[in-house]
Structure 1
């Protein structure tokens, strides 16, 4: 039992062997852009429809609740990232503070989170890309635009596979090059959302906000196990806010991690919360939620409903161009977590080798193949909901790490200190646990089954091969 909770001594990036060091090319503007690029995407461009379908106009409250919980988690991440400026995010922090078996569960959950996030965003991008091509008079075969549905026709989402391949290729070129392209695309995305607000705001009709909460304020089970109500919507809209945790995976490639990581994490959360609330308010006010609730491209549909078909085409085009920033952020984070787990012996060590450009090209390509299969064959709402479960687990672990270190080592150097830590961290934990209970039952069961398989892998393969044990 003692071996299950053995802890890892964390080597900072400059303490790693020369052949394992990644190039330090990122500064805080790059990190803010990475965070905004990862956060602002599928949540507002695609999942706002899913959230409105489950909560009605009260989806505004769902955004506020999910954002508040994520803000508490972000403050905890900022403290841990500056204390332990090493790649691996919540997995690394858990290994250093809580012990190996906890770190494995968190790492296994992060594999679920990042892989499914990339798949979800790729499917969301596919919806906008297909809509944009249709506006140009180009129609792809129906079977090539979606995965197989229950009781429906067979299909493979080829556009989703295509965009994952493009982003993976970009990441293998180099971190600095990827960051520059990401910054440009983030600006395109922000301008697009500003255009939507400017065009749709004059059509705001207070009548569209009634009834404000048609499914109530709690979490009510509906058909097919779907959870309706404000909290039911918040549980899936939670997906819209995370992305800042991808910033913490960039610790070894940041020039001044003790300063820049905190700026990147908190700065991106503040900016994105403001953007979300404005866009969501305009969306539910311009058109009744029942019109766009089930759309795969809700903002473009809203614009078409108010007679702005030309602007809708521009928004769909910009979404098709800019949504890959989310893919880039999460595929980047996933490859870095896989890299650290391979260094620790939990994955084949050959996957940890870096290319001549100082990037983990092998693990990036392996990750891309894995998530492409998921994106090609799985519906959007299923993978988004399951991805949230993995994220909630990671957020709980990071908040717990903050509390444990505050008690175990109160005098430790903390370049960033979470304000009111004994209030903020417990709120993050309780909020995440409540959101988990608001997820669909099938999602909860699937998450527990995923971790049961993970523990079997740990005891059969990982535990004996862990570098800490050796």
Structure 2
């Protein structure tokens, strides 16, 4: 039992072995861009159609609920990231505060989250790119869809994963600069969408506002619908700020810059989401774009703006890779820290001459390509959410435990009303988990049961983390 609950001693900066050290190249504008790049993406460009199908016009309420819960989780992340400025995000915080077995479960859940997020976004990107490739180059659609959609494999989704992997292997600073430029393209495109859609706003499109009710319920077609059912899916649209906390060891002045990046990106993105969602639902009845793989472009075509539709689709093709980049970055850093701790082969933790974990990046790309090529977008997103919800609960719990265990410890960022914020994050995430499809909940439990078998068979014996 003592081994299961042993807590990690964090090594940062020059305390790390030379082959594990990463270069500090990121400042707060890079972090905000990383966060906005991660958050504003598939959720609003693609999953708004899935959310509208689940909740109707009240998808706006779903966005608001998911946003409040994520904002509370973001504040917990901001506090913990300044107390423990090391890579690993929720995994590291859990190891330091709660103990090894909890860290393993959260790390295993984060592997699920980040891998499936990268896959989901890659599939969303393909949803915009494939029609353009088909129209311009005659690209066969059966090679842009998985078996669930009558195709063979989603090759564009796999391609974008490997392009981003190559970029990350070139270097973190170079990736961050390109990411910032693409984020600007994305924000300009969403602004254009709102400007064109607002003149077509019709309040009648919001009636009835809540056609499927508030709580999760099974509709006659077998789909689970309601405001909370939609919130549990489009919750995916808001997270991404947690990827910022994985950049702690590559951030200049992390005590100041990490909170700015985490909280700043959440505030910016919440405003963007509410405006774009209202413009989308107001411009077109939700039934006409529900479950579309390219809902914003579809809305533009339906209101007789085919030129703007092409611009939106092209911009999505250009800008969605920022989301792939942010989460791919986060996933590789989670893998990196777990390899340092012995839970994965230590040889994977080696850093290249350019300061990047090349081996981990290649393995991550191979892993997520399988999901992106073969699995439906909504099922990937729902399963990714389950891993994220577990991580958010863990971070909020870590914050509250540390408030009790070490009330006088240095906290460069202090979450206001910490107990209220922490409990909202924990209870809200638990409710969202219960609102996920039952199949998703089952898959999540199976994933973690398998993870515990791996831990007891391999991880517990191989653990090398400095502990106390």
User: Is the structural similarity TM-score above 0.5?
Assistant: yes
The CA deviation at 1:336 is 0.4
Task: Pick which of 5-14 and 228-237 moved more.
Answer: 5-14
Matched positions, count: 467
Structure 1 gap ranges (5+)? none
Distance in 2 between residues matched to 1:376 and 1:316, nearest whole Å: 21
Does 2:232 correspond to 1:244?
Answer: no
Which residue of 1 is the match for residue 431 of structure 2?
434
**What is the CA distance between 1:223 and its match in structure 2?**
5.5
Alignment of 1:72-151 (within 5 A): 72-134=72-134, 136-149=135-148
> What's the counterpart of residue 171 of structure 1?
168
Whether the aligned pair in 2 keeps the contact of 1:26 and 1:176 (CA below 8 Å) is yes
Give the aligned partner of residue 464 of structure 2: 467
The answer to whether the aligner puts 1:376 opposite 2:369 as a matched pair is: no
Normalising to structure 1: TM-score of the pair? Answer: 0.98
Task: For residue 292 of structure 1, report the CA deviation from its aligned partner.
Answer: 0.2
* Partner residue in 2 for 1:320: 317
Moved more, 65-74 or 18-27: 18-27
Q: Residue 232 in 1 paired to residue 229 in 2?
A: yes
Q: Residue 340 in 1 paired to residue 337 in 2?
A: yes
Quote the RMSD (CA, aligned, Å).
Answer: 1.1
Q: Distance in 2 between matches of 1:399 and 1:361?
A: 32
| Equivalent residue, structure 2, for 1:363 | 360
After superposition, the Cα gap between the structure-2 partners of 1:469 and 1:311, relative to the gap in structure 1 and judged at 3 Å, is closer
Secondary structure of 1:5's counterpart equals: coil
CA distance in 2, matches of 1:133, 1:173: 27
Aligned to 1:271: 268
Separation in 2 of the partners of 1:133 and 1:352?
A: 38
- State the Cα deviation string for residues 82-118 of structure 1 (Å, max 9, x = none): 0000000000000000000000000000000000000
Contact 2:145 2:154 in 1 (8 A): yes
CA distance in 2 between counterparts of 1:16 and 1:376 reads: 37
What CA distance in whole angstroms lies between the structure 1 residues aligned with 2:299 and 2:189? 14
- Within 5 A, what are the aligned runs for 1:287-298? 287-298=284-295
Displacement of 1:122: 0.1
Secondary structure class of the residue paired with 2:388: helix
Q: CA 1:223–1:7 in structure 2 vs 1: closer, same or farther (change >3 Å)?
A: farther
Structure 2 residue 190 is matched with structure 1 residue 193: yes
Q: 1:223 to 1:158 in 2, by over 3 A?
A: farther
Distance 1:460 1:369 in 2: 24
Distance in 1 (CA, whole Å) between partners of 2:258 and 2:245 is 7
**Partner of 1:231: helix, strand, or coil?**
helix
Residues 223/260 of structure 1: CA separation in 2 closer, same or farther (3 Å cut): farther
Deviation of 1:155 after TM superposition, in Å, equals 1.5
Alpha-carbon offset, residue 224 of structure 1: 7.0
2:407 to 406, 410, 413: 410
Q: CA deviation at 1:140?
A: 2.1
In the alignment, structure 1 residue 181 sits paired with structure 2 residue 178? yes
Contact 1:225–1:440 (Cα < 8 Å) also in 2: no
User: SS of the residue aligned with 2:4?
Assistant: helix
Partner Cα separation in structure 1 for residue 465 and residue 211 of structure 2? 54
Q: Distance in 2 between matches of 1:133 and 1:353?
A: 38
Q: Unpaired segments of 5 or more residues in structure 2?
A: none
Structure 1 residue 15: Cα displacement: 2.0
In the alignment, is the contact (CA less than 8 A) between 2:46 and 2:294 conserved in 1?
Answer: yes
Taking the aligned partners of 2:466 and 2:13, their CA distance within structure 1 comes to: 22
Distance 2:389 2:379 in 1: 16
- Note if 1:205 corresponds to 2:202: yes
